[in-house]
Structure 1
Amino acid sequence: MAEDRLRAGGGRPGAWIWISAIVVMLIGVALAVGGVWLITLGGSWYYVAAAIGFIVTGVLLVMRRPLALWLYALVVLGTLAWAVWEIGFDWWPLAARGDIIFLVGLWLLMPWITRRLTAAGRPPAAWRGAGLALSASLAVAAVAGVVALASDLHDQAGSLPGAQAAAGQTGGGGVPVDDWQAYGHSSLGDRYSPLTQITPDNADTLKVAWTYHTGDIRGPGDPVETTYELTPLKIGQTVYICTPHDWAIALDADTGAQKWKFDPRIEERKNLQHLTCRGVSYHEQAPGEAAAPNGECPQRIFLPTADARLIALDAKTGQPCPGFGQNGTVNLWEGMADPKAHAGMYYSTSPPVVTRDLVIIAGEVTDNYSTDEPSGVIRAYDVNTGKLVWNFDPGNPDQTAPIGPGQSYTKNSPNSWIVSSADEQLGLVYIPLGNQTPDQWGADRPPNTERFSSSIIALDIATGKLRWVYQTVHHDLWDMDVPSQPSLVDLDTAQGKVPALVQSTKRGDIYVLDRRTGTPIIPAPERPVPQGAVPPDHSAPTQPFSELTFLQPPLQESDMWGATPFDQLACRVRFRSLRYDGIFTPPSLQGSIVYPGNFGIIDWGGLAVDPVRQIAFANPDYFAFYSKLSPRKQTGQAEQGGAPTSNGGAEQQKADELGGNPMFGTPYSVDMGPLVSPLGLPCQRPPWGYVAGVDLKSGKIAWMHRNGTIRDSAPVPLPFRMGVPSLGGPIVTAGGVAFLTSTLDYYVRAYDVTTGRQLWEDRLPAGAQATPITYRSAATGRQYLVVVAGGHGSLGTKPGDSIIAYDLPGRG
């Protein structure tokens, strides 16, 4: 009797088939609702077909028909066929399309399900043929998964020209071989060291030599974007660093022991958008150069601060140089209009360029807050006295002589927030410019803004006069600032050796220009781009597209991704709901996809260039964003702009509290951010981050490999090498090794520059969104690698305060 009840589906074991049927039907209903929505938007019909399969399977389970397994086998095979047709044997997109379906199939094969599928009048083994069919379909899906797992459709194998034996004999840009004297190693900005002690053959033996903790930890009152984006310097036997709160610290190059520390005691403001210091700058009095008053500070460190000061410090003692400005300090608010109203909205996050007898500095302004913001002026000061020598205001470019008393620079002109480069032989400084804020609205931009936004400019070092300008994005509505330091390298071409400038960009194009004239060496023809900006704004009809590019094809619905079919379906609906016509789709009231996103394919870390081999190492990223314009009510006082304080009206308060982008002074605010699923995962399929090698002579990408794992991004620490974004830059050495720390997982890695093969990695105690350096100790002869692991607030990586040096065991 008991056996008969179980066979008929009665009793407690039979409850599983009801539960399973309900779950299967609920999955079907969820897919049906989303699938119908997707169809109305012009998307795939698959989800509705799959929904029907799930719902009917659930009904057949309730009826205890073996046909349920036959039908579900068709769902499995149909899903597999559709997935392979859409994306091929690409493991992560394939797995996301079939994971839930595969697991449900395994569940339906469990004996507490199959042995209930024996309705009255059917033999007890009636389920076996259906079970065999479902098992076979799952086996086919598993084989397809194994094939996809063994494939790497995103790997581009290749090699770069080999290393040259003489590469390590001299330093570039006048920097001694052992040192790293500027943010980009030298004023050339190539991030290249001529050292050869660390090679592809021994890099895997690198060990920690010393660790220093700065003690500067992010506090509860600090802005979200409190970051360690530091690139240290090494001069002689001293390493110089700064911290987010602008402490300047000197360390022993062999031991990491602190030599001195200077705290400028910055005036912190709640409206600071960033709190970071990417580095300090160095100047040493050259033979024949005019000495500082009283011979003070023959070697000096220049420290920019978050309250808009430029401080000169004695490199030996860390004390301010009293003859520079006022007691060692130049106030960068001088000449700015309405400094009290704009307090906290301007400062230099990046170290200045020191060239000849000048220190040249620019600054960032608060993004997307209003049309009434500080000037983007670039200024040159005497390195000894701090006297203003010239100023280049993009809003008033012809007047470079120092402004007089009572005069002020043009408000809200395009600014430069990253490091510049200099060629002292040509007498030019090369400055990457950002956009005029707000980024997503350009209806009222004046002619000089249209000329200089998102461009590279060359200025005469001595006078600040404009020599040439090259614009990478016309009428920028996408925050596509020129985000990184230009790299200066002499290239062999069919016309002979040409002094070149290599500029990476957020949009992924690499512009290679003759740095004498700004003329492209690698062609960058103008091409039509999408139109239809919200009136009265407009879009530029064309944009310059370099033939050397990391730009990938436009996104498609099939590129949408998720951990399960459900969040992938949600991403497909979102993709179809937003406007997207490819790169340069204008911001819209509907909402637009921004791809490449504001994060950039290459951001402030830039490229590392080997000037001898004439190659580059890059870490491109791929992450879509969205932007959506929303009409705003006029709110009087808030509409006048000014500092984002809590007393500027209800709307201004809301913008402060929510971290919004109010764009005061325009008809709209803008909502923007990464394009992610309801689970917070990227909506586009991986990989999201690579390392890549570029042959600058041929203008070709030689190799490209996924880079980084989701260990520190996933809810559980899974070491899947999916390729994750990186924010920060690489360095290369004459030894043929590149180093990178800036991925979202907490590692420092070494690579063979020739092939991109990973040679070594070491776990770091925190996020390392910074660019490392390498140097050699004159005292011990050891080559060190120094990395910074302090975290990045806006990326959510673990905060810290570690400066870590590595070297080769037994060396020296």
Structure 2
Amino acid sequence: MQRTAILGTLFLAVCWACHPDHATRYKAWSDYGGGPDHSKYVDYKQITRENVNQLEIAFVYPTGDNVNYRFNPVIVDGVMYVLAKNNSLVAIDAATGKELWIHANLRGIIQRGVNFWQRKDRKEKRLLICLNNTLQAIDANTGKSITTFGKGGYVDLKQGLDRDPATFGRATSTTPGKVFEDLIILGSAPGENLFSGPGHLRAYNVITGELVWVFHTIPHPGEYGYDTWPAEAYKYVGGTNTWGEISVDEDRGIAYFPIGSPTYDYDGSDRAGSNLFGNCILALDARTGKRLWHFQTVHHDIWDYDLTAAPQLITVNHGGKKIDAVAVASKHGFLFVFDRVTGKPLWPIEERPVPASDMPNETAWPTQPFPTVVPPFNRQLVTVDDINPYFPPADKAKWTARVAAAKNGLFHPLSDQYEVVTNPGAVGGANFGNTAADPKNGIVYVQTQELVDFYSLKKRESAPQRGGPGFGGGRNSGVSPERLAQGKALYMQHCQACHGENRAGIDGLGATLINLSTKVNAEAFKGIMAVGKGRMPGFPHLTETEIAAIYAYVTPEAQRGPGGRGNRDDDRVELPDGPVVASGGVPVDLPPSGGQRMTDYPSAYTGPRSEYVETNNWGLGVPNLLTPPWSLIVAYDLNEGKIKWKIPLGNDDSIPGSNNLSMPNGSQGKGMVVTSTGLLFSTCLDGRVYAYNTDDGSMLWSAELGRSNPGGLPAMYEVDGRQYLVVCSVGSLKDKSKAESDVPKGYIVYALPKKEK
């Protein structure tokens, strides 16, 4: 039996090495998440388990501003592309940090990363960016916009969604998408409120900007899945989008999409049915957009259990055969594993009965899928015995009583008569950035957090009004006293606890918002509020009008009035120091984004209406309700379908005497790097970067970054035979006795000491 296993392993290794392009695969970090498969895996040999503790800072590229970036650098041919200096795209020498060019003032650019493309001769190189509802191309050699791309240098992403663009707000993806051959494949983040835009998946030509294909995630008449919705739901349901991370099998030309939940997340009265392709892992032909297979991980989602983390493409030895598989981790703590080509589960997934809803017009789906062999990576039940032992007695008694009174379980429908408690909640489990793999050995790594949600519903006061002044309503659009009053009330409810009564920020919780408009324009603010940034969570259920009101309140310096300058940023063209070659992207001629939003169902609609909203704050009031650990890294051996090891991620230094206790919210938006030498690097909310042994999860090295909450995914690359690890560290100071100038703030690059010649 042992001999068979050894022969099988050798067979896999030989086949892997002989496959075309595998000899050079995983030798560059040329894409968001490392490469097309999003494994975050590199095949470099210099840094090993034996010498990792010798890593030292090679150089720091300072961001030169107060923006809390969460950017994953891209490194190609010795050049690193980063976001810095008030949302400028900067090319630097990847071995020294020397600036090569700066494209300044890209306010509104998505801040997680960019897409890189180059011709086979490696001469023409392009960066594809999403900026304020447009797709643009920048010459990676010169830093200048490519004006032949699209219409005058841009593609309007609000076009081609089969609805009047004026009736919805955001159409920009919040993650970079994926480049495959000459295509850029994009998802979107239209928001999650009632009547948000649809989450079509699209592919554009990287040279011309031409739209090549569209896939309707809310099916149109005659399309597969149309009968899983009410008739013509595609006219009013939104979301059902990929705001997370796309993975691509280059060899087969298959793109794998984690799909989010339909709108409205918590009240599905107006969308009876299972609602394909909501909450699906969806495999499409990357060249044509044709559906190949899908699996729905939640039917008729009314808990916001959307998929966001990158599907991991692995090769496993399953049943004595080599299988190319895909594994997708969910918010609710499951890891689903399928044959990458056929979509067949590697192990049975059972449909099990779940509770019915007691809400009027809500028809909860009677069963939900449960993996039977692969264990969950989170606790999925909250009991009174799980209450945090570090709570003071009064707090522990309060939370114990609340848990005891609530309905419990992953799939208990929400109600306006009682609370439902669940773990992990809508912002727990695995989220963007939280998966990685050793592809050839069938190992998948999941960063996860245990963040309890208390859910309940209340009657919607009125249809969500959208549009009006505040988001691009024109240079002369004022802000009424009523709007400012609304913004102040919303700020006090959602923002003040972290950013302070005077907007100056609170150490360790939230950054200053004073002079925010000089760093973040109104369009970018919408995206941040939708999906969060750094430690800050997203607030996807705030309407655009509500977000506009908050922006108006927190940016008094930008509002037009006596001595004011309006709330648009195109008249502020301050340039950073350095080799600036361009500013602001291409000139864009788009209609104002503040138009007449969709506020009601189509006139012919006669079915039930979504009338309830979720009332709680997505677990944010109780980030460490449970016994620790609160965040973890879980390693799965998917040759066997078992957890190989599980370790706490980080340490909560605020608890005296704690050691490797983990951090509440520690994995939210963080990332990993996996090496062929048996190392796993990870960032954490506690302001450290760690290196673990992939065999057993033991910690081999850690480094203090000096700042809490390092943002974005780390990256690893090699230049002239020297291997580097880069971490974006721009959070608040951990040690308040130090001066800002004493602690590096920017992209911190580690390497082994140079050998003396």
Q: Kindly provide the amino acid, as one letter, of the partner of residue 278 in structure 1.
A: R
Q: Using the alignment, how far apart are the partners of 2:725 and 2:296 within structure 1?
A: 36
Which of 44, 61, 80 is residue 239 of structure 1 equivalent to? 80
Distance 1:573 1:518, change over 3 A: same
Q: Deviations over 1:282-329 (max 9, x none)?
A: 111126xxx9xxxxx711111122x11111111111111222113332
Q: Using the alignment, how far apart are the partners of 2:13 and 2:45 within structure 1?
A: 10
In the alignment, which residue of structure 2 is the partner of 1:628? 456
Is the contact between residue 188 and residue 489 of structure 1 (CA under 8 Å) also seen in structure 2? no
- Tell me which structure has the larger Cα radius of gyration: 1
Which of 674, 694, 705 is residue 636 of structure 2 equivalent to? 694
Quote the offset at 1:773 in angstroms: 1.2
Distance 1:621 1:415, change over 3 A: same
Quote the offset at 1:599 in angstroms: 1.8
Q: Kindly provide the amino acid, as one letter, of the partner of residue 335 in structure 2.
A: I
Does 1:322 pair with 2:322? Answer: no
Is the contact between residue 484 and residue 503 of structure 1 (CA under 8 Å) also seen in structure 2? yes
Is the contact between residue 503 and residue 512 of structure 1 (CA under 8 Å) also seen in structure 2? yes
In the alignment, which residue of structure 2 is the partner of 1:195? 44
Quote the offset at 1:790 in angstroms: 2.9
In the alignment, which residue of structure 2 is the partner of 1:56? none
Which of 595, 616, 620 is residue 444 of structure 2 equivalent to? 616
In the alignment, which residue of structure 1 is the partner of 2:241? 415
Does 1:786 pair with 2:745? Answer: no
- Structure scoring higher RCO (CA < 8 A, sep ≥ 6) equals 2
Which of 403, 412, 431 is residue 585 of structure 1 equivalent to? 412
Is the contact between residue 644 and residue 656 of structure 1 (CA under 8 Å) also seen in structure 2? no
Q: Using the alignment, how far apart are the partners of 2:392 and 2:486 within structure 1?
A: 39
Quote the offset at 1:470 in angstroms: 0.9
Which of 360, 372, 381 is residue 554 of structure 1 equivalent to? 381
Q: Deviations over 1:696-740 (max 9, x none)?
A: 1001001112221112xx3x8875432223122212100100000
In the alignment, which residue of structure 2 is the partner of 1:754? 695
In the alignment, which residue of structure 2 is the partner of 1:386? 209
User: Greater shift after overlay, 461-470 or 175-184?
Assistant: 175-184
Quote the offset at 1:489 in angstroms: 1.8
Q: Kindly provide the amino acid, as one letter, of the partner of residue 254 in structure 2.
A: L
Does 1:372 pair with 2:192? Answer: no
In the alignment, which residue of structure 1 is the partner of 2:34? 185
Q: CA RMSD in A?
A: 3.3
Distance 1:438 1:641, change over 3 A: farther
In the alignment, which residue of structure 1 is the partner of 2:674? 732
Q: Using the alignment, how far apart are the partners of 1:792 and 1:496 within structure 2?
A: 50
Does 1:228 pair with 2:69? Answer: yes
Give matches, 1:85-100, under 5 Å: none
Runs (5+) with no aligned partner, structure 2: 1-8, 224-233, 471-478, 495-538, 544-598, 601-609, 734-739
Which of 306, 316, 319 is residue 481 of structure 1 equivalent to? 306
Is the contact between residue 332 and residue 380 of structure 2 (CA under 8 Å) also seen in structure 1? no
Q: Deviations over 1:563-613 (max 9, x none)?
A: 222111011111123322x21122222222131111222111232211232
Which of 685, 688, 691 is residue 627 of structure 2 equivalent to? 685
Is the contact between residue 676 and residue 683 of structure 1 (CA under 8 Å) also seen in structure 2? no
Q: Using the alignment, how far apart are the partners of 2:283 and 2:334 within structure 1?
A: 19
Q: Deviations over 1:741-780 (max 9, x none)?
A: 0x22000000000010001111113321422111111x2x
Is the contact between residue 437 and residue 445 of structure 2 (CA under 8 Å) also seen in structure 1? yes
Is the contact between residue 170 and residue 194 of structure 1 (CA under 8 Å) also seen in structure 2? no
Distance 1:461 1:179, change over 3 A: same
Query: What TM-score results when the alignment is normalised by the length of structure 2?
Result: 0.73
Which of 34, 53, 57 is residue 208 of structure 1 equivalent to? 57
Q: Using the alignment, how far apart are the partners of 2:701 and 2:19 within structure 1?
A: 27
Does 1:772 pair with 2:714? Answer: yes
Q: Using the alignment, how far apart are the partners of 1:391 and 1:245 within structure 2?
A: 34
Q: Using the alignment, how far apart are the partners of 1:303 and 1:557 within structure 2?
A: 48
Give matches, 1:375-774, under 5 Å: 375-396=198-219, 412-445=238-271, 450-494=275-319, 496-546=321-371, 547-548=373-374, 549-552=376-379, 554-561=381-388, 562-580=390-408, 582-589=409-416, 590-634=418-462, 638-639=463-464, 658-659=493-494, 661=541, 666-673=610-617, 675=619, 682-711=624-653, 714=654, 720-724=659-663, 725-727=666-668, 728-741=670-683, 743-766=684-707, 767-774=709-716
Does 1:279 pair with 2:113? Answer: yes
For the residue of structure 1 that corresponds to 2:275, the secondary structure is helix
Is the contact between residue 313 and residue 328 of structure 1 (CA under 8 Å) also seen in structure 2? no
For the residue of structure 1 that corresponds to 2:385, the secondary structure is helix
Q: Using the alignment, how far apart are the partners of 1:470 and 1:340 within structure 2?
A: 33
Distance 1:411 1:577, change over 3 A: closer
Q: Kindly provide the amino acid, as one letter, of the partner of residue 771 in structure 1.
A: L
Is the contact between residue 63 and residue 85 of structure 2 (CA under 8 Å) also seen in structure 1? no
In the alignment, which residue of structure 2 is the partner of 1:294? none
Aligned residues: 600
For the residue of structure 2 that corresponds to 1:346, the secondary structure is coil
Quote the offset at 1:205 in angstroms: 1.0
Is the contact between residue 454 and residue 476 of structure 1 (CA under 8 Å) also seen in structure 2? yes
Runs (5+) with no aligned partner, structure 1: 1-160, 219-226, 269-274, 292-296, 401-407
User: Greater shift after overlay, 697-706 or 658-667?
Assistant: 658-667
Distance 1:396 1:675, change over 3 A: closer
Q: Deviations over 1:172-222 (max 9, x none)?
A: 77865541111232211211101121111111111000111123423xxxx
Q: Using the alignment, how far apart are the partners of 2:19 and 2:47 within structure 1?
A: 16
Quote the offset at 1:672 in angstroms: 2.0
Q: Kindly provide the amino acid, as one letter, of the partner of residue 694 in structure 1.
A: Y
Is the contact between residue 382 and residue 421 of structure 2 (CA under 8 Å) also seen in structure 1? no
Q: Using the alignment, how far apart are the partners of 1:452 and 1:210 within structure 2?
A: 46
Distance 1:792 1:541, change over 3 A: farther
Distance 1:350 1:174, change over 3 A: farther
Q: Using the alignment, how far apart are the partners of 1:334 and 1:676 within structure 2?
A: 36
For the residue of structure 2 that corresponds to 1:364, the secondary structure is coil
Quote the offset at 1:232 in angstroms: 1.3
For the residue of structure 1 that corresponds to 2:276, the secondary structure is helix
In the alignment, which residue of structure 1 is the partner of 2:512? none
For the residue of structure 1 that corresponds to 2:440, the secondary structure is coil
Quote the offset at 1:169 in angstroms: 11
Distance 1:718 1:323, change over 3 A: farther
Q: Using the alignment, how far apart are the partners of 1:810 and 1:170 within structure 2?
A: 34
Distance 1:254 1:423, change over 3 A: same
Q: Using the alignment, how far apart are the partners of 2:349 and 2:616 within structure 1?
A: 29
Is the contact between residue 617 and residue 732 of structure 1 (CA under 8 Å) also seen in structure 2? no
Is the contact between residue 618 and residue 730 of structure 1 (CA under 8 Å) also seen in structure 2? no
For the residue of structure 2 that corresponds to 1:452, the secondary structure is coil
In the alignment, which residue of structure 2 is the partner of 1:135? none
Q: Using the alignment, how far apart are the partners of 1:357 and 1:522 within structure 2?
A: 36
For the residue of structure 2 that corresponds to 1:617, the secondary structure is strand
In the alignment, which residue of structure 1 is the partner of 2:473? none
Is the contact between residue 620 and residue 690 of structure 1 (CA under 8 Å) also seen in structure 2? yes
Q: Kindly provide the amino acid, as one letter, of the partner of residue 277 in structure 1.
A: Q
Q: Using the alignment, how far apart are the partners of 2:641 and 2:611 within structure 1?
A: 43
Quote the offset at 1:472 in angstroms: 0.8
Q: Using the alignment, how far apart are the partners of 1:179 and 1:442 within structure 2?
A: 44
Q: Using the alignment, how far apart are the partners of 2:65 and 2:164 within structure 1?
A: 32
Is the contact between residue 157 and residue 171 of structure 2 (CA under 8 Å) also seen in structure 1? no
Q: Using the alignment, how far apart are the partners of 2:173 and 2:620 within structure 1?
A: 32
Is the contact between residue 393 and residue 413 of structure 1 (CA under 8 Å) also seen in structure 2? no
Q: Using the alignment, how far apart are the partners of 2:451 and 2:357 within structure 1?
A: 24
Quote the offset at 1:397 in angstroms: 5.6
For the residue of structure 2 that corresponds to 1:762, the secondary structure is strand
